[in-house]
A and B are shown apart, each in its own frame.
Chain A
């Protein structure tokens, strides 16, 4: 084995260790008790199975909501040209500006109906919050499924329902699976919104158990319950990525979906549907928030806001930068030699931290850096800084950038780097040129999503906040717990102001995907 291959292998193992560190640590801590046995039977008699069932139902309902709100507009925007198309894209992305615990608080404070404090309301909040991700995943996939698939099937005699069953559903299986994973990870992993509404979910149960026992071993054991299914999911995702998805031919740009005109009635229906969904997911909570902030605006606090904004943006920016560096290193790993299935599978291990509930991830960091531990010794005074929050958030949200980057790498053949080298570019410049088309825009989009998620993130900030640390999410949570939505509203608006630029970037990227009708017409004419 050559030196470069060895270096690549070592690098791959380092990345894998980085990805699996929290889950691995929890497993090792729990191992002695796990080997004793009897723990599973014990947990079966506790409230955890009931909490797990509740979480599962919430996730299933949230998936139905997210797919109805996100997937339908995504497919319509990708496949058809109609008046209001740009608006539908924007409306679909707007719920990114709200975290589920914020909308849950808004609804419960404003409306007294018991429905808004129930399980279904929680599922709807999660569904609406996840719908932009489902929109993005389906938007990207639908833009790449060539029209010729459907046309060919029709030409070969398949009717609309047969085409749906035999062509469209298999083609959308991958984005559907990805969308489901996102919704399940968010809905099962969430603590703040469930706690706010008083729903006894698995995440709430884990924290309660940990707080009640104050035992790291108990926390580790409970976490293992979460780790096993998440590792299994990662295994399936990694296998599917290299065994199924990566072998699918990437259609050339010329075969990308070109949009067809949509009948006016259908166009009005889809715009109305998007507007209706965004009412619940964005406009009503936003109107209430603005009203609260307006009525109780305290001008004396104005001077402190820029500093708070810079502080909040700094943490999220650091998280996005850590993510960008890991993604860039991964790109380097995958494009620094020939094909390697080991190297291709390593980045998928980072999904483990996304499938783990954020509280479990935070618990791992708490345990790794507790007093007297090796982690505390190594970190020194850094332990009590925001470093742990930045690292844990980066590990959790990394898939939002990593998956677009892996996709972009698939679309950047190795030959483009070689071609650039042949035309005189050095190794670095050749990669910069080759990656310019797909990888940098994908990384930018991913980092924008990570920035927004980091700004909204609460569960890990609650667990890992150092002394004196504050963030908009913590302030919103603290105020909304005591029904002080008028004071929380200002912080909601501040965090939204910070998210505006990344949101516009996402909108711009989503709007540009695919082939406009004018170009498709020109192409058809040219043929």
Chain B
């Protein structure tokens, strides 16, 4: 479904993403982890088609979508769904209007019904008409996820979707997301927390300084040699997350 080959991006003289290659099968869930400034968001923006790579290519659904210096397939034609860390809700629409934003059904009733169902799945039953400015951070993030999940997309790109919510909300959202992803929708999730990757059963892509340092399951990476950076990063993050949780 997604194939990334030798992808690099320079800003000025600095490589924010460097020689990244990986493949994603349909329905696969990939968690991109790494410290701040490791190039996670830059990678996602190139996959979404917002930025062109300096070199390398992105193949999506069997088509070359981006090549060196060029975006060949515009973001709106990549059949994606997105959610950002700041919920990015449209303030001129209410909660259900935001959730229905990307549903392509022509019939308004069925579009709204699908949006309401998506809100219900995210634990927001009965909040259809709420002004988005009055939503709490967690509620806004739920609407943002509902909008992404309601879209008729083949691949979900989530950029730190749980970054602005408290721990309990985070656990709740991860479990709801996991339930929705069980139907075979592929997802790439950028996160700081290794616990999210474990909970979602995701394959881990660990980045540092723009490069992929490890690619595999959480168990495989943490079973590596002592002193290995990737193993240490995941274990430290997991311990911190567990401590915060308890």
What is A's interface to B at a CB cutoff of 8 Å? 146, 148-149, 151-160, 163, 166-167, 170-171, 173, 247-249, 251-252, 255, 521-522, 524-527
Contact A525:B102 (CB < 8 A) given known A154-B75, A155-B80, A157-B79: no
Report the separation of the CA atoms of residues A524 and B38 in the bound assembly, to the nearest whole angstrom: 10
Look across to chain A and name the residue whose beta carbon is closest to the beta carbon of B151: A156
B11 touches A525 (CB 8 A): yes
A-B residue pairs in contact (CB < 8 Å), sample of 21: A149-B90, A151-B50, A152-B82, A153-B76, A155-B48, A156-B76, A156-B80, A156-B101, A156-B148, A163-B76, A170-B90, A170-B92, A247-B91, A248-B133, A255-B86, A524-B41, A524-B45, A525-B39, A525-B42, A526-B36, A527-B36
| Complex contact A249–B91 (CB within 8 A) | yes
Say yes or no for B143: interface residue by CB 8 A criterion. no
- State how many residues of chain B have any CB contact under 8 Å with chain A: 45
The verdict on A157 contacting B151 (CB below 8 Å), with A247-B134, A255-B86 known, is yes
The listed residue (B82, B86, B132) touching A155 by CB distance below 8 A is B82
Contact assessment for B133 and A247 in the assembled complex, using a CB-CB cutoff below 8 Å: yes
Contact flag A157-B90 (CB < 8 Å), given A524-B45, A525-B16, A527-B40: no
Q: B12, B51, B75, B157 — which one has the most chain A CB atoms within 10 A of its CB?
A: B75
Residues of B within 8 A of A159 (CB): 74, 76
Tell whether A157 pairs with B11 under 8 Å between CB atoms, given A151-B50, A249-B91, A524-B45: no
The residue in chain B whose Cβ has the minimal distance to the Cβ of A169 is: B92
A247–B151 Cα distance when bound, in Å, is: 27
B-side residues, CB < 8 A to A, are: 11-12, 14, 16, 36-37, 39-42, 45, 48-51, 74-82, 84, 86, 88-92, 101-102, 104, 131-134, 147-148, 151-153, 157, 159
A148 and B101 contacting across the interface, CB-CB below 8 Å: no
Pick the most buried of B89, B102, B147, B148: most chain A CB atoms within 10 A of its CB. B102
A155/B157 contact (C-beta < 8 A), A148-B84, A248-B91, A249-B133 known: yes
Given known A-B contacts A171-B92, A173-B92, A249-B91, A157 and B102 have beta carbons under 8 A apart: yes
In the complex, the chain A residue whose C-beta lies closest to that of B144 is A152
Known: A151-B50, A527-B42. A146 touches B88 (CB 8 A): yes
CA distance A22 to B153 in the complex (A): 60
| A47 to B74 Cα, complex, angstroms | 58
B203 to chain A, nearest CB (A): 21
B207: min CB distance to chain A, Å: 11
Do B86 and A252 touch (CB < 8 A)?
A: yes
- In this complex, what residue of B is CB-closest to A254? B86
Q: In the complex the two chains form, what is the Cα distance from A163 to B79 in whole Å? A: 16
A155 to B48, CA, bound (A): 7
Q: Return the contact of A157 from the options B76, B88, B157 (Cβ within 8 A).
A: B76
Q: Is the CB of A158 within 8 A of B76?
A: yes
Given contacts A154-B50, A255-B86, A521-B12, 10 further A-B contacts (CB under 8 A): A148-B86, A154-B49, A155-B75, A156-B147, A157-B102, A248-B133, A249-B91, A249-B132, A526-B36, A526-B37
In Å, the complex CA distance between A521 and B17 comes to 13
CB distance from A155 to the nearest CB of B (A): 4
Contact of B11 among A149, A152, A521 (CB under 8 A): A521
> What is the minimal beta-carbon distance from B81 to any residue of chain A, in angstroms?
6
Q: How far is the CB of A321 from chain B (nearest CB, A)?
A: 36
Known: A151-B48, A247-B131. A524 touches B42 (CB 8 A): yes
A18 to B36, CA, bound (A): 54
Chain B residue at smallest Cβ distance from A148: B88
Q: Which chain B positions have C-beta within 8 A of A155? A: 48-50, 75-76, 78, 80-82, 157
Q: Smallest CB-CB separation from A166: which chain B residue?
A: B101
B45 to chain A: which residues have CB within 8 Å? 524
Shortest beta-carbon distance from A349 to chain B in Å: 24
The chain B residue with its CB closest to the CB of A243 is B131
CB contacts (< 8 Å) of A163 on chain B: these are 76
Distance in Å from the Cβ of A250 to the closest Cβ of chain B?
Answer: 10
Whether the Cβ atoms of B40 and A524 lie closer than 8 Å is no
Q: Which residues of B contact A148 (CB under 8 A)?
A: 84, 86, 88
Cα distance, A152 to B45, chains bound together (Å): 11
Contact indicator A157/B132 (Cβ below 8 Å): no
For the complex formed, measure the closest distance between the CB of B40 and the CB atoms of chain A, giving whole angstroms.
7
Distance in angstroms between the alpha carbons of A249 and B134 in the assembled complex:
9
Report the minimum CB–CB distance from B39 to chain A (whole Å): 8
Chain A residues with CB under 8 Å of B84's CB are 148, 152
- Alpha-carbon gap, A478 to B90, bound state (A): 53
Distance, CA A173 to CA B90, complexed state (A): 13
State the CA gap A281–B183 with chains docked (Å): 62
Give complex CA distance A151, B48 in Å.
9
Q: Which 7 A-B pairs have the closest CB atoms?
A: A527-B41, A156-B102, A155-B82, A154-B75, A170-B92, A247-B133, A525-B16
Shortest CB–CB separation between residue B50 and chain A, in angstroms? 5
Q: Which residues of B contact A251 (CB under 8 A)?
A: 86
**Complex: A160 Cα to B76 Cα, angstroms:** 9
Please name the residue on chain B nearest to A523 by beta carbon. Answer: B41
Chain A residues, CB < 8 A from B50: 151, 154-155
**A524 cross-chain contacts in B, Cβ below 8 A:** 11, 16, 41-42, 45, 51
- The answer to whether residues A154 and B41 also contact, given A170-B92, A255-B86 and a CB cut-off of 8 A, is no
Known: A156-B102, A247-B134. A525 touches B37 (CB 8 A): yes
